[in-house]
Structure 1
């Protein structure tokens, strides 16, 4: 199915629905929720996803897993997508948190083919087998480190949201601790309790997410590194490679 609203087919008695959709640049899908789980795959462009749990950046050839009933907002930056909507009893992944997932060559081709599957497909036919294989591949897809969990404490969440808007590797935990009238040790403990990450890890995630967006837009590695506060492009490239498993130049080329 292509450019079909989910509302038109959601009641179809099938465990999986596949819909291909093209979005104009900078399209915002305001906060909403689906009864079914969703796997949202970016064939091109970039997606920025926000939930109550945190924020994700999803580059091309990656996707985001959204559990059933999870409120979310998505900004599409020139994206052509393949979406799978999956009945709760058929979901291939456990847990109630969103995940950024790597899409390998086989899953990519399967998702391409899924656009031709009608809503009322034959479960035992080719289309049903194709969607069944997609579910299997989704269940074993590798999670990508493109997530900044959002703390529940309002004051801390406001600081995190501000850093997502203007990320900088030079922001120090001591500054945030002072603004919240906490000792550095208390702040560090509270931050890890709220996010599951140390402040330094979270700050790096925020910077890398911003970098992925800018690299996908074709910006120079050196300019991004300096804007984010790294001492040099090599220091930035080292941090990027350590987390992403590839140099930033690969993301800029779209490889």
Structure 2
């Protein structure tokens, strides 16, 4: 949410009026067309990013987050990030003053958006600010902070290896990101990189904080959300994501996200 809509030339958002209001939390809503990318930027405030439909991807140096309409991404102040928009959507950005960020998650994460949280986000980002009193805006913001604090973190984060883009582990991760259905085993990748199995596994774990198998499954499941969004049949989604069958994919998806893909896709 660091830039205005593409129709305005993607210039940086002017938040001076909102910042001058003195409110602890304020927000904006911006329309983005399909395929749009908001380039890397940072904010001096804590930042909550939500899209009321579609699937928004938020990328930072530490990893990537996929955000369905039932979730939002929380980023601490100063975290450099960019937005990737697979389908046209309305993005809602909320900015939280640093003096109250201590009441929110200490790490960047995806949180559940309950019906109440959604309505609060809409009220703070879409309402005519001149028609609402500062007192009411302040109370809405306070309630939103309390609700965010109560929401559980969700498994929509894919950690990304730190370091040079040409590093061996980064090359493996980028290759799998480009082709989630790649069935090359850890041994196969180790051979391609001319390193032993144990060395590959150790370096992968050190770079991402996850084992190769767990990271690849997380990638496959998260990547499959985009296919579900496009209405691709679940069996085709399963095969494209590297699973041998509809049932194997459904089992893994349900274990990761707490519901089968048929239920999840109905909410997109």
Question: TM-score, normalized by length of structure 2?
Answer: 0.87
Cα displacement string for residues 100-155 of structure 1 (whole angstroms, at most 9, x for unaligned residues): 111011111211222216289755x2221111010111122211111111112432
- Confirm whether residue 172 of structure 1 aligns to residue 172 of structure 2: no
Taking the aligned partners of 1:227 and 1:168, their CA distance within structure 2 comes to 5
8 A contact 1:18–1:84 mirrored in 2: yes
- Confirm whether residue 51 of structure 1 aligns to residue 60 of structure 2: yes
Question: TM-score, normalized by length of structure 1?
Answer: 0.91
Q: Taking structure 1 as reference, are residues 33 and 53 closer, same or farther at Cα in structure 2, changes over 3 Å only?
A: same
Deviation of 1:98 after TM superposition, in Å, equals 2.3
Moved more, 69-78 or 109-118: 109-118
Taking the aligned partners of 2:45 and 2:147, their CA distance within structure 1 comes to 18
Cα displacement string for residues 194-231 of structure 1 (whole angstroms, at most 9, x for unaligned residues): 21111111000110111111101111100111112211
The residue number in structure 2 matching 1:62 is 71
Partner of 2:52, secondary structure, is: strand
Taking the aligned partners of 1:155 and 1:6, their CA distance within structure 2 comes to 41
Partner of 1:50, secondary structure, is: strand
The residue number in structure 1 matching 2:127 is 116
> What RMSD in Å do the two structures reach over aligned CA positions?
2.2
The residue number in structure 1 matching 2:104 is 93
Taking the aligned partners of 2:130 and 2:162, their CA distance within structure 1 comes to 39
Q: 1:22 aligns with which of 28, 31, 49?
A: 31
8 A contact 2:24–2:138 mirrored in 1: no
8 A contact 2:29–2:91 mirrored in 1: yes
Taking the aligned partners of 2:115 and 2:34, their CA distance within structure 1 comes to 26
Q: How many aligned positions are there?
A: 252
The residue number in structure 2 matching 1:137 is 147
Q: Segments of 4+ in structure 1 off by > 6 A? A: none
Which runs of no fewer than 5 residues in structure 2 stay unpaired?
A: 6-11
